Amino acid sequence: MDKLLINGPSKIEGEIRISGSKNSALPILASGLLSKGSVRIGNLPHLNDVTTMIELLSCLGVDLLIDEKLGVELNAEKITQFTAPYELVKTMRASILVLGPLLARLGKARVSFPGGCAIGSRPVDLHLRGFEALGATVTVESGFIEAVVDGRLKGAHIFMDKVTVGGTENILMAATLAEGRSIIENAAREPEVVDLANCLNAMGAKISGIGTDKLIIDGVEELHGCDYDVMSDRIEAGTFLVAAAATRGWIKVKDVDPHSLEAVLAKLEEAGAKMTVGDDWIRLDMEGRKPIAVDIRTAPYPAFPTDMQAQFTAMNSVATGVSTVVETIFENRLIQVHEMNRMGANIRIEGNTAIVEGCETLTAAPVMASDLRASASLVIAGLCANGATLVDRIYHIDRGYECIEEKMQLLGASIRRIPGRLSNEQSEQSS
């Protein structure tokens, strides 16, 4: 199992291009199942989750062409498979996003319960209630979700009693091919949902209210092909910005929409960073100063994103002052705090709140990543620590950050990947 070795302290300084968004790429790849034409999707990040989704689509019978830049051309005209197998779904929660498109195209879908990060309960009941409202019969048996409909789905008025990104995306995709008008109330407003809706409209869907909490979908009989580039990864951009702030450095992140990060940028300014933005870039400069502790409370977009909580907790651990970090989305997403405390951080947990008392510096220690964003926070902590920090179980970070050690090296960090030993099975496969 690979590890990251970080020699600190390191100061992040320089410019970096931001990759395509994983959280946008996965639903957009799944949306290719809705079209009978060829759909080309570009600006995909080189990530394990993207590869898994491509493998899943291939397993379902989608014809795929992949170019040297990992642009993917999908043709789902002849798909007949409607089962997403456990072997692929178990590694990635976003696999559930093929359920809506398969149901809308084939009239039936069977998807194993999904896996992914262990950051808390993320029930799929809102997805399933949405499909039932559209006229599907949904059953759960032997670890599989099965949905069937006689003929086409029927438009419906759907109120989401909790804001859910995945649920909004799944129901939105299904509704594009439903008969009549569907309305999704209390829909998620995240930029990745907007990106998916724009892609669906490029394929011939009729979606209005994009970017609001009320999506209106007038169903069409079929979707056609399109050529679409996914948006840049706002969470990757935010992670590098926080790394520069925590290490008292400077950074310019390029190919990113500053509007998608307004809540994060406001908190970085509050932390003492000098911020400047352009149409597709953000520059942060600490001018050598230590960050000031900032209070954080996660909530659905456009409020502060849960996917940036762990990184700010790491920054607060070396900031001036005391801060509170309140996690309202996932109950286990403060789990990285225990590893940070092993590095000398002064953080205590009270329910869903972390009270962080900033210290002068951290001390290197072997640490273990528990989920995707927690692993990013441990990298930031390692950059701030004195000595050599070894981050284990970095397969989590590889799910969401493209070549993180190479990008950090370009920004001045002393970081490298240490390959894990191959198991006997892996050795046989590689020979």
> Catalytic site residues?
117
pLDDT digits (tens, 9 = 90+) for 178-225: 999 999 999 999 999 999 999 999 999 999 999 999 999 999 999 999
Q: Are 63 and 79 in contact (CB under 8 A)?
A: no
Does the pLDDT value for residue 115 go beyond 80? no
Q: Is 184 helix (H, G, I), strand (E, B) or coil?
A: strand
Q: Is 372 helix (H, G, I), strand (E, B) or coil?
A: helix
Query: Structure pTM?
Result: 0.93
Instruction: Give the pLDDT band (50/70/90) at residue 133.
Output: very high
String of b and e for 3-22 (b: at least 16 CB within 10 Å)? bbbbbbbbbbbeebebbbbb
Does the pLDDT value for residue 91 go beyond 80? no
Pairing relation of β-strands 3-8 and 385-392?
antiparallel
SS3 of the chain: helix, strand, coil, percent, to 5:
35, 30, 35
pLDDT digits (tens, 9 = 90+) for 22-35: 999 999 999 999 99
- pLDDT score recorded for residue 165: 95
Q: Are 273 and 245 in contact (CB under 8 A)?
A: yes
Report the C-alpha gap between 265 and 273 in whole angstroms.
9
The residue with tokens 């179980």 is 393
- pLDDT score recorded for residue 69: 75
Here the tokens at position 293 are 């502790």
pLDDT digits (tens, 9 = 90+) for 373-414: 889 999 999 999 999 999 999 988 988 899 999 999 999 999
- pLDDT score recorded for residue 116: 44
Instruction: Give the pLDDT band (50/70/90) at residue 118.
Output: very low
Given phi > 0 = left and psi -120 to 50 = alpha, else beta, which region is 201? alpha
